[in-house]
Amino acid sequence: MAVLGATGLVGQTMISVLEQRSFPVRALVPLAASGGGRTVKFRGADIPVQQVTPDSFDMVDIALFSAGGAASLMYAPEAAARGCAVVDNSSAWRMDANVPLVVSQVNPEALTDHNGIIANPNCSTMQLVPLLKALSEAAGLERVVVATYQAVSGAGAKAVADLAQQRATLVRGGSATSTIYPHAVVSSPIPAIDVFLSDGSTKEETKMVNESRKILALPNLRISATAVRVPVERSHSEAVHVELSRPLSPDQARAAFSQITGVTVIDDPANHAYPLAAIASDNDEIYVGRVRTDASVEHGLAFWVVSDNVRKGAATNAVQIAELLVDMDLVHGAHHDA
């Protein structure tokens, strides 16, 4: 089992999740752009990080990639050619027609035709599509409008440290600035994640639209997204409004949500019980609440969804895909003991 990007925030979390979920790792191969004498901790041992080369994947069954799109484009085909199944966390392969884009509890059947590379969706898409699938199956899905409130860890460990220094500057009475963003997120939510495109949307918003359609196999789904960065370390929150094909009450929606593996309904507003970023942080559940009728459209519902973007939004889903590959006997490498 290889992890490319093993020293990054998501890569380190992948290694932790592999251990926590008792994945049957015979040997862990931590990889990075440079070794540099670094180590990672796995099952009580310090394992040296190796500098990645194409030959790094010669005896690897499954590789989890979290090293960015350029590295994925360079090394994923090399790994696949050596019989290694790659689960890639970058955006490089998500919209490739020959690459399955998978959320473990939504479309595991898409794995059956993999050609060695499997794409992990964007973190903001990841927590949304299980709920959309439940609604689609229960009452048909016509239109989705989502606004995200995304934690700074979506931009990596450096962005978390950047938020901490902004807060410290404010406490000292100074004027906060950011080394990551064009504005100080500690003072103002920033309605811009990733680059702007020619139609005025951002790349993050377009990812949510295109990836949701592919995962749900609803290529014509009407969906609009606004992605916003907020001063929270971990866990993305989303306000979602949907228009359904048929009537569905809030109670029926809650029941449909509660049937999804990995989803927890927290919805008791009278007692201030609803999903919070702090509740979701450092676990693998998707939390949904504030489920209510949206009377502005026919068959409308609104709800609030929160999930840890580093775990379920990235690392854990990658490990869950790897578990499915083993369970479904879809690891094609000659090194795999089926």
Kindly report the CATH number assigned to the domain that includes residue 228: 3.30.360.10
Residues 147 and 57 in one domain: no
Both tokens assigned to 12: 């380190």
Give the closest residue to 1 by CA, choosing from 62, 65, 67, 44: 62
Domain tally for the chain?
2
Residues 101, 242, single domain; the answer is: no
Q: Are residues 147 and 286 in the same domain?
A: yes
Same structural domain, 56 and 138: no
- Does the structure show a pLDDT above 60 at 338? no
H/E element holding 129? helix 129-139
DSSP H/E element including 119: strand 117-119
Q: What is the pLDDT of residues 153-204, one digit of tens each?
A: 999 889 999 999 999 999 999 999 999 999 999 999 999 999 999 999 999 9
Please report the pLDDT score of residue 34 as a whole number: 83
Is 14 a member of any domain? yes
- Residue 202 gets which letter from DSSP? B
* Residue 183 within a domain: no
Residues 43 and 95 in one domain: yes
The mean pLDDT value for 312-322 works out to 96
Average of per-residue pLDDT across 80-93: 96
Same domain, 236 and 204: yes
Residues contacting residue 207 through CB under 8 Å, at least 6 positions apart = 91, 94, 122, 124, 125, 194
Transcribe 39-78 into DSSP letters: EEEETTEEEEPEEP-GGGGTT-SEEEE-S-HHHHHHHHHH
Alpha carbon separation from 93 to 73, 111, 297, 332 (Å, rounded)? 8, 14, 35, 19
Burial class (CB in 10 A: 0-12, 13-18, 19+), 219: exposed
What is the C-alpha separation between 221 and 225, in angstroms, rounded?
A: 13
Residue 334 pLDDT grade (very low, low, confident, very high; cuts 50, 70, 90)? very low
Share of residues in the chain with pLDDT > 70 (%): 98
* 143 is a domain residue: yes
Q: Using CA atoms, how far apart are residues 289 and 185, in angstroms rounded to an integer?
A: 26
Residues whose CB falls within 8 Å of the CB of residue 166, separated by 6 or more in sequence, listed in order? 176, 177, 178, 184, 185, 186, 187, 231
Confidence band for 113, pLDDT divided at 50, 70 and 90: confident
Q: Tell me the HSE value of 36 on the side-chain side, using a 13 A CA sphere.
A: 8
Q: Within a domain: residue 213?
A: yes
Residue 223 and residue 195 share a domain:
yes
Q: pLDDT at residue 336 above 60?
A: no
What pTM value is reported for the model?
A: 0.94
Summary mean pLDDT of the chain: 96
φ and ψ at 15, to 5 degrees? -65, -40
Residue 333 is predicted with a pLDDT of 59
For the annotated catalytic residues, the residue numbers are 123, 236
Average pLDDT over residues 139-157: 96
163 within a domain of the structure (yes/no): no
284-308: pLDDT as tens digits:
999 999 999 999 999 999 999 999 9
Co-location of 141 and 81 in the same domain: no
Q: For residue 56, give its domain range.
A: 2-121+314-327
> How would you class 133 by CB atoms within 10 Å of its CB: exposed for 0-12, middle for 13-18, buried for 19 or more?
buried
Beta bridge partners of 307: 236, 286
Average pLDDT over residues 250-268: 98
Q: Per-residue confidence at 337, pLDDT binned at 50, 70, 90?
A: very low
Give per-residue burial for 167-192: e unless 16+ CB within 10 Å, then b: eeeeeeeeebebebbeebbbeeebeb
Residues 225 and 277 in one domain: yes
Considering the domain architecture, whether residues 93 and 140 belong to the same structural domain is answered as no
Q: Residue 178 falls within a domain, yes or no? A: no
13 shares its domain with 65: yes
DSSP state of 121: P
Q: Is residue 84 assigned to a domain?
A: yes
Residue 165 included in any domain: no
Q: Domain of 40: which CATH number?
A: 3.40.50.720
Residues 145 and 266 both lie in one domain: yes
CA distance 187 to 231: 8
